[in-house]
Amino acid sequence: MDGLGKGDRQDFQDLDLEGITTDGQWIYLSEETYQRIWVWDPKEKKVVREIPFKHGGGRNEGVESLVFLPNSKEFILATEKDPNLFFKVDENFEIIEQFTIPGISEVSGMTVYQNVWYVLSDEASTLYQVDLGSKRIIREWLLAVINAEGITFDQQGNAWVCSDDMQKVFQFKLPMP
Amino acid sequence: MKKFVIFLLMVTSGIHHVQGQFTMVSSDKVLQISGYILPFVNYRFYDATETDRDKNRVNMDFAVIRVDGMSGKHIHYEIQLNMPAIYSADLSDEFLMQSTIEWRTSKDNFNIRAGYDKLPFSRASLNPQTASAFMQRPEVVRGKTFNRRDCGITLEKNFFSKRLNFYGGVYTGQGINSIVGDNDPNGKFLYVGRAEASYPARSRFEELDLHHFQVPNFAVGASAMYSEKSITTGTDYPILTVDGQKFAYEWDASFSYKGIALLGEYVVYRITPKDTGLLFGKPTDYYVANGYYAMANYTARKINSVFALRYDVFNPSDLVQFDARKTLSIGYDCMLDGFNSVIKVHYFKRLKDGTVDPWSEDQIRIGWQYKF
C-alpha cells in the first residue's frame, strides 16, 4: 500500500479484512476471522504491529469496523452482530469502554465526518448518526443498497457507500434538517 | 389487535440479545461452536372416531451442535450433530447432519467439498429450516422423495460476486446409509447439478426478508439429479431410492423487497421402476411424481413478527388419480431476538383432492427455536 492506498496484493491475500481507518500516520485494518488489528505503515509499506483483539463471538461476526476519533485520539471498534458490541479503545487498543447502542443490532461500517459519528448497518440498510456521548441515535437514513459494507463522506458532504454483493459504490446526498 | 401488538412488544422488549456463536482462535486455526434447540408441541385435529392419536405430542426434533472451523484460509470443515436422533426408532432420522471438509480459493469463487452434506437440489431443501417461517418443508422436498443429504463430493463455482453459481456433485446415493454402509449391489452413483442466478445481489438461501431489502432482489435456480439403483426405499413414497432409474429436476424462483418475500418451486421425479407393479398395468415403463409450492411472507419488524402463507402440492404418481397431497400452511413467528430466538407457529390445513377426503389431519405445531 502506498501513501494513497495502493499495495501489493500478496500482502493482504488470505486475510478477511473488514474495516479500515487512519490516524494520519498509520493505517489500521481489522481482520475479522482471526480477530486481529493490523497497523500498516504506508511509507515503509509494511505491517508494524499486529494486535489481537479477541472477543469470542462468531467467526464471521468479529471486528467488522473501526474508526479513529481525531479529537480524543481514541478508536471505536464494532463487532458485526450476535452480539453487536462497540468498544472504545485507546491508541494501544486497550479497552476503555464497552457499550451497545439501542436500536442498532448489526454494524457493517463506521466513519467520522466533521466530528460526527456515523454507523452503517448492512442488514438494516440504514445509516445512523449517533451521539457518542449519550450513545443514542440522532437520526437515520434508509439506503436503497443491498449489503452496504463501507461508508465515507467527501468534502461536499456526500455519503459514499459501497456494496459488497452488488459490487457498486453509491453516492447519497443525505437530507439534513 | 392492539392488545395483541402491545403484548408482543412487552414480551419482546424484555428479552436480552442472544450471544451467537463462540469462536476460538489460535495462530491460523479458528474453531466455532454454535447450534440450536427446537422443542415443539404438535396437535392434530383428529376425527372423533380416531382411536390412535399418537401425533398429539411434545417433541424435540432438533438439538443440534455445530462445530465448524478453518485451518488456514483454504481448509474449512464442519460437523453438525442432532442429539435427539440418538433416541429415534426411525433410522432415517439423522444424528450426523453434516460432516464436510472443504478446500476454498482465496477469492471464495471455487470450492471442493467432500463428506456428508446436503445435495445441491431444490431451493427449499437448501434453505436452512432454522431460517424458515415454517417448521416443516413442503411435502415434495421434505426428505421423503429424495435423500436430502448424502456422502459425496461437491464442486461449486461462482461468478460475479456469487450472483451466478454452479454446483455439481457425485454421491453414493444411499442417503444416511452412505455414512458407513456399502453402496447398493449395482455400485452406481447419484449425480446432481444445480445452477442459480440472482440480481442485483447474491441470494443467500434465505426464505424471509428479515433485513427489508430496499432494492428488489430476484433469484432463479434449476437443479437435476440422476440415479440408477437396485433397491427401492421410502417409507411414505417408494422413490427415496428406486430399483430402476430415477431422474429428477426442479426450478425455483424467489423475490424479496421491503420485508416481502415470495418463493416458488416446481419439482418432477421421473421414475422408471423395474417393479412393474408400480405402473398399475398401464402401457408405460415410467411414472411421474411431481409437485410444487408457492409461498409468501412478510416480516413486520416493528412488531417483531413474520406472517407467512404457503400452498404446496405433491402427487406421488401420475398413474393414480385423486391422490395428491395438498396443504395450505399458515405461519406466524414471534421474534424474541430476531431468528436467534423465535416462537414459531405452523398451522397445516390439509385440502381435498377433487372429492376425495384430505390425505391427513389438520394440525398445529408451536415451537421455540433458540440458536446459540
Distance, CA of A172 to CA of A167 (rounded, Å): 16
Distance, CA of B32 to CA of A164 (rounded, Å): 24
Using a CB-CB cut-off of 8 Å, the residues of chain A touching B19 are 57, 82-83
Q: Is B159 exposed, middle or buried (0-12, 13-18, 19+ CB in 10 A)?
A: exposed
- Give the domain CATH number at A82: 2.130.10.10
Q: Do B214 and A146 touch (CB under 8 A)?
A: yes
Q: Residue A32: pLDDT band by 50, 70, 90 thresholds?
A: confident
- In this predicted structure, what is the pLDDT of residue A56? 64
Q: Are A121 and A107 in contact (CB under 8 A)?
A: yes
- In this predicted structure, what is the pLDDT of residue A52? 87
Share of chain A above pLDDT 70, in %: 88
Using a CB-CB cut-off of 8 Å, the residues of chain B touching A82 are 17-21, 340
Mean pLDDT, rounded, for A4-29: 78
Three-state DSSP state, A143: coil
In degrees rounded to 5, what are phi and psi of residue B7? Answer: -60, -45
Report which of A87, A46, A48, A55 is spatially closest to residue A69, judged by C-alpha positions. Answer: A87
User: Which stretches does DSSP call E strand in chain B?
Assistant: 22-26, 29-44, 57-71, 75-82, 96-104, 110-118, 149-159, 164-171, 190-199, 217-229, 244-257, 260-273, 287-300, 305-315, 325-337, 341-351, 363-371
Confirm whether A172 is domain-assigned: no
pLDDT, tens only, B246-288: 999 999 999 999 999 999 999 999 999 999 999 999 999 999 9
Q: Give me A61's grid cell.
A: 461476526
Q: Are A97 and A88 in contact (CB under 8 A)?
A: yes
Q: Residue B31 above 60 pLDDT?
A: yes
**How many domains does the structure of chain A reveal?**
1
Q: Which CA distances in Å does A146 have to A158, B109, B262?
A: 19, 20, 17
Confirm whether A139 is domain-assigned: yes
3-state per-residue secondary structure call for B142-182: CCCCCCCEEEEEEEEEEECCCCEEEEEEEECCCHHHHCCCC
Q: Residue B320 above 70 pLDDT?
A: yes
* Average pLDDT along chain B: 92
Report which of B117, B285, B313, B293 is spatially closest to residue B207, judged by C-alpha positions. Answer: B293
The dihedral through the CA atoms of B306, B210, B128, B201 has a sign that is positive
Q: Residue A1: pLDDT band by 50, 70, 90 thresholds?
A: very low
Residue with cell 430496499: B214
Q: Residue B346 above 80 pLDDT?
A: yes
Q: How many CB atoms lie within 10 A of CB B96?
A: 16
Q: Cis omega (within 30 of 0) on the bond before B200? A: yes
Of the ranges A34-43, B92-101, B153-162, which one carries the lowest mean pLDDT score? A34-43
Closest in A14, A125, A163 to B106, CB measured: A14
Distance, CA of A117 to CA of A62 (rounded, Å): 20
Shortest distance between the Cα of A70 and any Cα of chain B, in A, equals: 31
Q: Which chain B residue's Cα is nearest to A54?
A: B25
Q: Residue B2 above 60 pLDDT?
A: no
More confident residue, A2 or B314: B314
Q: Do A34 and B17 touch (CB under 8 A)?
A: no
Shortest distance between the Cα of A68 and any Cα of chain B, in A, equals: 26
In degrees rounded to 5, what are phi and psi of residue B2? Answer: -60, -40
pLDDT, tens only, B195-250: 999 999 999 888 999 989 999 999 999 999 999 999 999 989 999 999 999 999 99
Distance, CA of A60 to CA of B251 (rounded, Å): 31
Q: Do A123 and B211 touch (CB under 8 A)?
A: yes
Confirm whether A114 is domain-assigned: yes
Closest in A13, A58, A83 to B17, CB measured: A83
Edge to edge, what strands does the sheet with A136-142 contain? A109-113, A116-121, A126-131, A136-142
pLDDT, tens only, B48-72: 999 999 999 999 999 999 999 999 8
Using a CB-CB cut-off of 8 Å, the residues of chain A touching B202 are 147, 165
Q: Residue B15 above 50 pLDDT?
A: no
Shortest distance between the Cα of A41 and any Cα of chain B, in A, equals: 23
Confirm whether A23 is domain-assigned: yes
Q: Residue A6 above 60 pLDDT?
A: no
Q: Residue B3 above 80 pLDDT?
A: no
Confirm whether A168 is domain-assigned: no
Using a CB-CB cut-off of 8 Å, the residues of chain B touching A81 are 20
Confirm whether A130 is domain-assigned: yes
Q: What would you measure as the largest C-alpha separation in chain B, in angstroms? A: 66
Closest in A54, A61, A164 to B20, CB measured: A61
Report which of B366, B370, B290 is spatially closest to residue B330, judged by C-alpha positions. Answer: B366
Q: Which chain A residue's Cα is nearest to B202?
A: A165
Q: Do A61 and B72 touch (CB under 8 A)?
A: no
Q: Give me B339's grid cell.
A: 431468528
The dihedral through the CA atoms of B79, B80, B85, B90 has a sign that is negative
Shortest distance between the Cα of A80 and any Cα of chain B, in A, equals: 11
Q: Residue B10 above 70 pLDDT?
A: no
Q: Which chain A residue's Cα is nearest to B76?
A: A59
Confirm whether A92 is domain-assigned: yes
Confirm whether A159 is domain-assigned: no
- In this predicted structure, what is the pLDDT of residue B14? 43
Q: Give Cα B73 distance to the centre of its chain.
A: 29
DSSP letter string, B301-336: GGGTEEEEEEEEEEES-TTSSS--EEEEEEEEEEEE
Q: Residue B289 above 50 pLDDT?
A: yes
Q: Do A34 and B211 touch (CB under 8 A)?
A: no
pLDDT, tens only, B73-132: 899 999 999 999 999 888 788 999 999 999 999 889 999 999 999 999 999 999 999 999
Edge to edge, what strands does the sheet with A63-69 contain? A63-69, A74-79, A86-89, A95-99
Instruction: Provide the domain limits for residue A53.
Output: 17-146
What are the residues of chain A with a beta carbon less than 8 Å away from any beta carbon of chain B? 13-16, 33-35, 52, 54, 56-59, 61-62, 81-84, 105, 122-125, 142-147, 163-167
More confident residue, B21 or B324: B324
Q: Do B21 and A57 touch (CB under 8 A)?
A: yes
- In this predicted structure, what is the pLDDT of residue A81? 86
Share of chain B above pLDDT 90, in %: 83
The residue type of B290 is N
- In this predicted structure, what is the pLDDT of residue B236? 92
Q: Do A146 and B215 touch (CB under 8 A)?
A: yes
Q: Give me A85's grid cell.
A: 458490541
Q: Do A58 and B21 touch (CB under 8 A)?
A: yes
Shortest distance between the Cα of A72 and any Cα of chain B, in A, equals: 30
Q: Are A165 and A146 in contact (CB under 8 A)?
A: yes
Q: Do B21 and A13 touch (CB under 8 A)?
A: no
Q: How many CB atoms lie within 10 A of CB A90?
A: 12
